[in-house]
Amino acid sequence: MTKGIWVVVEQRDGEIKKVTYELLSEGRKVADQLGEELAAVLLGSGVSDKAASLGEYGADKVYVADNAALANYTTDGYTNVLAALAQKYEPYAILLGCTSNGRDLAAQVAQRLSTGLMSDCIGMELADGQLAFTRPIYAGKALVKACCPDARPVMATIRPNIFAVESAAKTAGVIAEDADPGAIRQVVKEVIKQESTRPELTEANVIVSGGRGMKAPENFSVLEELADVLGAAVGASRAAVDAGWISHSFQVGQTGKTVTPTLYIACGISGAIQHLAGMSSSKCIVAVNKDPEANIFKVADYGIVGDLFEVVPLLKEELKKIMA
């Protein structure tokens, strides 16, 4: 019996991100196999009322550090609190979402606790009685299974959209913690939100992406219209980003974001290895490209050889009909 598996809650402005529920759901399974308790760790300001709901996804316990100094995520504030809690309770494992904040926090806490951290994992299992994680390396061109044999806690960041959310009717015990956020050297001067009603790329269930075939920045409106019918995010290949048609924050691929949506629609994307690395673990891939020899067709579940400016609006209309 060790001391529990922890899931660090990802929240922004009090809104809990889906990856938290994914980690709790999968964490529940390994916790049961190990005979461990599953705890959620919630850091923020004015977030206490969210704590009990985490039981619905499998948490036995919720540690809450509710402190005005934790209103905004800061590396120092969150590291100081999470590391202090880990030193107090000595959990067996700490899981975080592989998000901008999760990745940032995990590295600091792992070093402070002198332990190992497996990043951007896509699989979690028990191997010889200990937690092992599978993670892509070389941008998904290979996979490594790894563990942290001696150091504790075992730490991992896990890619969003990998594990299914499952409800578990648990009543979570809520424990208020007063760990000190300490001196915070990062001063948040401004938070700039992109004005978009579409989901964020790495969290999206459906992504409509454009490449060199888009030809001009204004043509992305064709993809946006399809995206709006599907409730999808818009993405882009490196070619489109390097041409200056769309910002790098939309780039999918080895030097951009790695995504795992249920449906990925690649429009005018040739399928360079650098792009495939970022999206080939999507559950279903659709490709629309003029070139029948394009590499993207080798990974696409469904392909249409044709002009995207003709096909995409038609597809939008057909989907609208079906989904009505």
Residues 4-33 that bind another protein (CB under 8 A): 12
Q: Per rule CB under 8 A, is residue 52 in the interface with another protein?
A: no
Phi/psi at 144 (5° precision): -125, 140
- Pattern of binders to another protein over 79-98, x per CB under 8 A? x-------------------
Q: Per rule CB under 8 A, is residue 295 in the interface with another protein?
A: no
Q: In DSSP terms, which residues pair with 210 in a beta bridge? A: 236, 267
Among 147, 168, 175, 243, binds another protein (CB under 8 A): 147
Could you tell me the two tokens for 202? 């790495």
Among 20, 25, 67, 119, binds another protein (CB under 8 A): 119
Q: Per rule CB under 8 A, is residue 321 in the interface with another protein?
A: yes
Q: Per rule CB under 8 A, is residue 322 in the interface with another protein?
A: yes
**Smallest distance from another protein to CB 141, Å:** 4
The residue assigned the tokens 């959310």 is: 165
Q: Per rule CB under 8 A, is residue 197 in the interface with another protein?
A: no
The Cα–Cα gap between 86 and 76 comes to 15
Among 164, 193, 218, 244, binds another protein (CB under 8 A): 193
**Smallest distance from another protein to CB 61, Å:** 26
Q: Per rule CB under 8 A, is residue 115 in the interface with another protein?
A: yes
Q: Per rule CB under 8 A, is residue 182 in the interface with another protein?
A: no
Q: Per rule CB under 8 A, is residue 48 in the interface with another protein?
A: no
Q: Total binding residues for another protein by CB under 8 A?
A: 97
Q: Per rule CB under 8 A, is residue 34 in the interface with another protein?
A: no
The Cα–Cα gap between 214 and 37 comes to 51
Crossing angle of the two packed helices 75-89 and 100-112, in degrees rounded to 10: 50
**Smallest distance from another protein to CB 62, Å:** 23
The Cα–Cα gap between 312 and 270 comes to 16
What sign has the CA pseudo-torsion 219, 225, 207, 276?
negative
Could you tell me the two tokens for 141? 């061109």
Hey, what amino acid is at 130? Q
Nearest-10 Cα torsion for 68, 74, 75, 80: -10
Site for another protein in 208-267 (CB under 8 A): 230, 247-249, 251, 254-256, 262-263
Q: Per rule CB under 8 A, is residue 107 in the interface with another protein?
A: yes
Among 87, 143, 167, 180, binds another protein (CB under 8 A): 143
User: Which residue, 90 or 301, has its beta carbon nearer to another protein?
Assistant: 301
DSSP 3-state of 140: helix
Choices 20-28, 44-52, 84-92, 293-301 (CB under 8 A): range interacting with another protein: 293-301
Q: Vertex 244, ends 227 and 313: CA angle to 5°?
A: 25
Q: Give me the half-sphere count of Cα atoms (radius 13 Å) on the Cβ side of residue 66.
A: 14
CB 13 within 8 A of CB 100: no
Q: Per rule CB under 8 A, is residue 78 in the interface with another protein?
A: no
DSSP structure class, residue 243: T
DSSP structure class, residue 164: P
Q: Per rule CB under 8 A, is residue 164 in the interface with another protein?
A: no
Q: Vertex 62, ends 120 and 132: CA angle to 5°?
A: 30
Q: Per rule CB under 8 A, is residue 176 in the interface with another protein?
A: no
Choices 57-65, 164-172, 209-217, 278-286 (CB under 8 A): range interacting with another protein: 278-286
